[in-house]
Structure 1
Amino acid sequence: MSGYPTLSLCMIVRDEEEFLPKCLESVKDVVDEMVIVDTGSTDRTVEIARAYGAKVYHHPWQDSFSEARNYGLQFAKGDWILQLDADEELAREDAPILKEVLRAVDKVPEVNAIFVAIHNIFKGGVAKHYFQRIFRRGHGHYEGIVHNQLVYEGFATTSEIKVYHYGYDLSPERMERKFLRTSGLLHRHLEQHPEDTFSWSNLVRVYRSWKKFEKAVEVGEDTIERLRDKMSTSQWQMIAYDTAYSHMMLGDLDRAEELCEEVLEDFPRNLDVLFTLAAVRMKQERHQEAIETFRKFLRARKEEYRRPRFSYLVVDSYGFEDRAWFNIGEAYRLMGQL
């Protein structure tokens, strides 16, 4: 499009014939080129990519997502890079907004990255977080074998451009394979980098997400004890939340409450921690306090919708409004006030 910076889609894929068409369809009219690194597909992934006009490069898998992503960057020619996974899609209504955001940011040379709003779709809800998925070509690269981080020069800006992620809405068998792959990569990495707080927080999240609550508590508590002073504020909030949630699921309500209250002292609008604390108080049969905490959650959530704030955090409870209202009603019922 005349007058706009050029944009290259960069992806790494392997056996993604189920999701890839939807992903590429969502960006085909926005990007100027598609650069796809295939790490060993045996299905129709490469055929589908080429049908959309993508440049496909074959590269053997090296047990590192960042290594594969960085390999693909060398082939991109656009002014800016858009990074997506095959199980994601750009919100169709945000395509024209993306072009306008690029045109505005391109004029600010010290800004080299743009955060977008990732909406994780899963059974029973939506989790939201912001992530750097757009960056100026030549000014960024990836680090970390799992949940890789974009390392970039200069500054970043935020946007409400939406990307939908469907990677958590899979069959139990596929989710188990995904767990084994991800946890295995993290364990191997942490053997060599035992003080990598980002990877420890990711490992706790993996255990909690796959309902391995005993391991989540074990690793979470150990990491908090050893590395609390080295964590960023977002890492602390996430690992405390995941550990508290796991304690709650195992029935240790006092420790779950303690962790939640510690986070909320400094971050009173943390939606996940508010919702978890309210759920803990429901289980403790402290129904009036549960109602008050669910209402705090609803107020914080309303403020988030009205005036979104940038955050590195994944917000699991972003779509839990109905659950909060249901629990408020249930608390009143249990108190005999319905």
Structure 2
Amino acid sequence: MKTNDNIIQSLQHKQYDGVRYACIERLKTDPLDIQAWTFLGQAMVGLRRGRMAELCFRRALLFNPYAPWESDALRDAHAVSEGRDDTQVLKLLQVPHVPVSACVLTRDNENTIAECLAALQGAVDEIIVVDTGSRDNTVSIVQSFGISVHFFPWQDDFSKARNYALSLAHHDWIFSVDSDEILYPEDKVSVRTAAALFQESVALIFALQMNQNGGSLSPYPVPRLFSRQYFEWKRQIHEAPQVLASTGVQKPMGLSVRIRLMHSGYDPNQVNLPGKMERNIALLQRVIHEDASDFTSLYYHGRELSINHRYTEAIPHLMKAYQLGRGATDAPLLPLIGSQLAYCYTLTNHVDEALEVLRRVTMDCPEHPDAWFSYGALLLGAKRNTDEAGASILHAKKLAATYTGTLPFDHDIAKWKADQALRQL
């Protein structure tokens, strides 16, 4: 079987039929081989089969949603004629039909619920709506779609409401969507495709919540697609699917895919942000009071406080969260906790403490780019050890260009932030 280097050489020599054959053989063995799908798309461009090329590139993008080559690849596919179909490639692209239930929680979402439901039409096999006490026109809008509304009394616990929705679904695969999220039209087909490709796995699939960040959109991975045979929702607030103890699975597969959800949950024109933040803080305080060792809730509490510019209050919560997380067997949010703590230290003029935290995060979580960049940028801003600063920023740029994990990270590090910072050296 040809290696990547062999295939790259064949592409350079325009041996497109040979590349096509090699990639098809690889994909018969591993249909999730991102590189093989990408190479096959390039071969299809060379063979002037534009439609086949686009389908191959989009399958690769499904598993590699942050790919920097997306715009160039799709432009190349559209630049050639559609060409004839390739039956072998179409066969590889086929997946079995796996029915999916969308579960949507609502409460006073009359401004967003219609778009949310309209976007789900055709992407899933049924839509379950659970309302927790709307007083506006949300319920009547849902019913206008011919969708039944199930009522669940609000108990200050998002997981209870979400698990009630799971119990109503007729299908095992669940696509959980917030009522202020709108599925991208071009990603509709990806919902069932992802479920089909991972139906035999204990997989927690992360969609990309697209949030407005200044004049651009920032993707934030959120766990949205899973089988209820293996998962249920946990935590009262900032809830997440967790594997059922009865499965005996210690660590499920987690991966981000290209299923994008436009999010308006932090749009001041759509929601009462101060009210939402105060509600979150109150719920988190209650959770922490019941379990002071819950480092995930400690992190979210500190984050909510810092969003409200209460940095000094946030620091002890974030510090404790990081200490507890370091001692835990599974603490996927550790780099986010450390970066948030360093951010609060920086804004309260405790630069030495911020640098020490970031240095520790780069050692504890070396694969995540944000702490590396923040460490280098802070060294640079404080006029400390410019050689170390430059090395850290360069390393962050490399990590950000190739990161495929399920944690959010700053995409602009690879796009422009690292280069801008390095120009200061």
CA contact 1:130–1:314 (8 Å) conserved in 2: yes
The residue aligned with 1:195 is: 293
Separation (CA, whole Å) in 1 of partners of 2:111 and 2:240: 26
The CA RMSD measured in Å over matched residues stands at 2.6
Cα 1:230/1:102, change in 2 over 3 Å: closer
The one-character-per-residue Cα deviations of 1:12-42 (angstroms, maximum 9, x if unpaired) are 1111122222322222111111111111112
CA contact 2:325–2:334 (8 Å) conserved in 1: no
CA contact 1:123–1:169 (8 Å) conserved in 2: no
**1:148-163 residue pairs with structure 2 within 5 A?**
148-152=239-243, 153=247, 154=249, 155-156=252-253, 158-163=255-260
Separation (CA, whole Å) in 2 of partners of 1:50 and 1:276: 48
Separation (CA, whole Å) in 1 of partners of 2:193 and 2:324: 45
Structure whose residues are more often strand by fraction: 1
Residue 301 in structure 1 maps to residue 301 in structure 2: no
AA paired with 2:416? D
The one-character-per-residue Cα deviations of 1:232-254 (angstroms, maximum 9, x if unpaired) are 34233222111011111111111
**Structure 1 stretch 229-238 or stretch 86-95: which is displaced more?**
229-238
The residue aligned with 2:381 is: 283
AA paired with 2:278? L
Higher relative contact order (CA 8 A, sep 6+): 1
The residue aligned with 1:111 is: 202
Separation (CA, whole Å) in 2 of partners of 1:19 and 1:227: 36
User: Which of 350, 354, 358 is 1:252 aligned to?
Assistant: 350
**1:180-259 residue pairs with structure 2 within 5 A?**
180-225=278-323, 228-230=326-328, 232-259=330-357
Q: Deviation of residue 129 (structure 1)?
A: 4.4
Cα 1:159/1:222, change in 2 over 3 Å: closer
Separation (CA, whole Å) in 2 of partners of 1:173 and 1:8: 27
TM superposition score normalised by structure 1: 0.85
The one-character-per-residue Cα deviations of 1:164-195 (angstroms, maximum 9, x if unpaired) are 33323435982211110111100011111111
Residue 13 in structure 1 maps to residue 106 in structure 2: yes
Q: Deviation of residue 150 (structure 1)?
A: 1.0
What residue ranges of structure 2 are gaps of 5+ in the alignment?
1-94
User: Which of 163, 176, 184 is 1:91 aligned to?
Assistant: 184
The one-character-per-residue Cα deviations of 1:126-163 (angstroms, maximum 9, x if unpaired) are 55444431122444321110111212345445241233
The one-character-per-residue Cα deviations of 1:57-116 (angstroms, maximum 9, x if unpaired) are 12221100011111222211123111011122223222212222222323x1x5354333
CA contact 2:191–2:259 (8 Å) conserved in 1: no
Separation (CA, whole Å) in 1 of partners of 2:365 and 2:380: 22
Separation (CA, whole Å) in 2 of partners of 1:135 and 1:222: 31
Secondary structure (helix, strand or coil) at the match of 2:233 reads strand
Cα 1:47/1:82, change in 2 over 3 Å: same
Residue 65 in structure 1 maps to residue 158 in structure 2: yes
Q: Deviation of residue 47 (structure 1)?
A: 2.1
Q: Deviation of residue 328 (structure 1)?
A: 3.3
Separation (CA, whole Å) in 2 of partners of 1:102 and 1:225: 37
The residue aligned with 2:169 is: 76
The residue aligned with 2:87 is: none
Secondary structure (helix, strand or coil) at the match of 2:373 reads helix
Separation (CA, whole Å) in 2 of partners of 1:173 and 1:239: 26
**Structure 1 stretch 214-223 or stretch 38-47: which is displaced more?**
214-223
AA paired with 1:328? L
Q: Deviation of residue 225 (structure 1)?
A: 4.6
Secondary structure (helix, strand or coil) at the match of 1:116 reads strand
The residue aligned with 1:146 is: 237
What residue ranges of structure 1 are gaps of 5+ in the alignment?
333-338
Q: Deviation of residue 301 (structure 1)?
A: 1.4
Secondary structure (helix, strand or coil) at the match of 1:234 reads coil
Cα 1:203/1:314, change in 2 over 3 Å: farther
The residue aligned with 2:420 is: 326
Separation (CA, whole Å) in 1 of partners of 2:138 and 2:265: 17
Cα 1:223/1:132, change in 2 over 3 Å: closer
Q: Deviation of residue 121 (structure 1)?
A: 3.3
